[in-house]
Amino acid sequence: MTKTRELEITALAAGGDGIGRDGGRVTFVPRTAVGDRVRVELVQETKSFARGRLLEVLAPGPGRVVPPCPVADRCGGCAWQHVARAEQLATKQAIVEGALRKLAGVRVHPIADPAPALGWRRRARFHVAGGKIGLYEHGSERLVPLAACPQLEPPLDAALAVLASMSLPDGDIALLLAPDGAIAIALDRAWRPAATLVGRAGIAAVVAGDAVHGEPVREIEPGLWIGPRDFAQASAAGNRALVAAAVAAAGAPAAPGERLLELHAGAGNFTRAFAAAGWEVTPSDAVAPPRPPPRFVAGTAAEVARDAVGPFGAIVLDPPRTGAAEAMPAIARLGAPAVVYVSCDPATLARDAAMLVAAGYRATEAWPLDVMPQTSHVEVVLRLVR
């Protein structure tokens, strides 16, 4: 039997859902804003929490706005287009402060807002089903076809329109925009018309299965070369702020050429800036990037930290959302004076930082950054010292 409830949304959770209370039980409801009075259908119930599906906004809260995208109520790409920008920033600040509250003495700076509210994506990944390109609906694998996306930088949006006009092979498709306007695209499967895309709407390269047309590896920032499937921060402006925050957190080397160990270095996003600041950087990651930076070491963070021979003036890591708990003991044993932890998940950041604190480090400052507006994602740069 269907169960419906009327709830008031009092906060937004780290995953993007609104939080209401059904009696004393916390209920998570997607697509809601603080202050909303809503009617929901309960779709999951436990003793401690429930999840609801939004049926109707009975009375909008002060933080609700009309989303700029016409399919925002269905598309799973953005969780918070219906949430006012100021409310997004305040919520992310609160999420970071809440996650780090047990790190005694840490100062959480006001959240930085470096990226434009819309039109900031220089890279994106879409799904193709039945020949149509789009994104999945929130919480499902039903495709929402798209011919435009307000989150994309305009040249990338024009390329999306071209792709939407064609019958594409099913699978995933990745798009990357370089600063010179060149666009590289990668499709999972072979596709006979792939070469015909080159030269249209700024498309300079297409990878379709094993076939390569043009040069897909592009220099998206000075010294940073990636392909459309490789990871890089989606916002150029957001990335500049994130790199600057990490460099500031590491501080200047005590002497020119002091050594810095970088874990989860990826394609060298932070490596370039640390080297420019005077550090001798040893970058590492489990898989080598298309163009590895000097002194690159292949290996997991735990392996590299275990085998590294110090001393290091600083250790920097930028792990995936799951964190790097397995590397914390080896990082602590290396005993660098400073550890800079860049995280896209405040909860796993707090977990891993607590392990370093238990080993003798002290968390001093944290810098939250909103580099992905209209989403619930937040980046944090944390400095620990001993």
Q: Is the peptide bond before 311 cis (omega within 30 degrees of 0)?
A: yes
Domain boundaries, the chain: 4-64, 86-115+235-385, 123-226
Give CA–CA dist 181/186, Å, rounded: 17
**With contact defined as beta carbons under 8 Å apart, do 10 and 28 qualify?**
no
Alpha helices in 220-364 (DSSP H): 236-250, 271-276, 301-307, 328-334, 346-358
CA distances from 44 to 12, 27, 109 (A): 18, 9, 37
Q: What pLDDT, on the 0 to 100 scale, is given for residue 2?
A: 77
Q: What pLDDT, on the 0 to 100 scale, is given for residue 1?
A: 66
User: In CATH, which of 2.40.30.10, 1.10.1200.10, 2.40.50.140, 3.30.1490.20 is domain 4-64?
Assistant: 2.40.50.140
Q: What pTM was computed for the model?
A: 0.94
How many CB atoms within 10 Å of residue 172? 13
DSSP 120-187: -BSEEEEEEETTEEEEEBTTS--EEE-S--TTB-HHHHHHHHHHHTS-PPSEEEEEEE-TTS-EEEEE
- In 3D space, the residue among 100, 91, 14 whose CA is nearest the CA of residue 364 turns out to be 100
The CATH architecture that domain 86-115+235-385 belongs to is 3-Layer(aba) Sandwich (3.40)
Give CA–CA dist 96/275, Å, rounded: 29
Q: What pLDDT, on the 0 to 100 scale, is given for residue 24?
A: 85
Give CA–CA dist 249/364, Å, rounded: 10
Whether the domain at 4-64 and the domain at 86-115+235-385 fall into the same CATH topology: no
Q: What pLDDT, on the 0 to 100 scale, is given for residue 343?
A: 98
Q: What pLDDT, on the 0 to 100 scale, is given for residue 57?
A: 97
Q: What pLDDT, on the 0 to 100 scale, is given for residue 23?
A: 85
Tell me the residue type at 363.
A
Give the single-character DSSP code of 210: T
Q: Is 78 helix (H, G, I), strand (E, B) or coil?
A: coil
Give the single-character DSSP code of 197: G
Residue 305: phi, psi to the nearest 5? -65, -35
Digit-by-digit pLDDT tens for the chain (386 residues) are: 679 999 999 999 999 999 999 888 999 999 999 999 999 999 999 989 999 999 999 999 999 999 999 999 999 999 999 999 999 999 999 999 999 999 999 999 999 999 999 999 999 999 999 999 999 998 889 999 999 999 999 999 999 999 999 999 999 999 999 999 999 999 999 999 999 999 999 999 999 999 999 999 999 999 999 999 999 999 999 999 999 999 999 999 999 899 999 999 999 999 999 999 999 999 999 999 988 999 999 999 999 999 999 999 999 999 999 999 999 999 999 999 999 999 999 999 999 999 999 999 999 999 999 999 999 999 999 999 99
The CATH architecture that domain 123-226 belongs to is Beta Barrel (2.40)
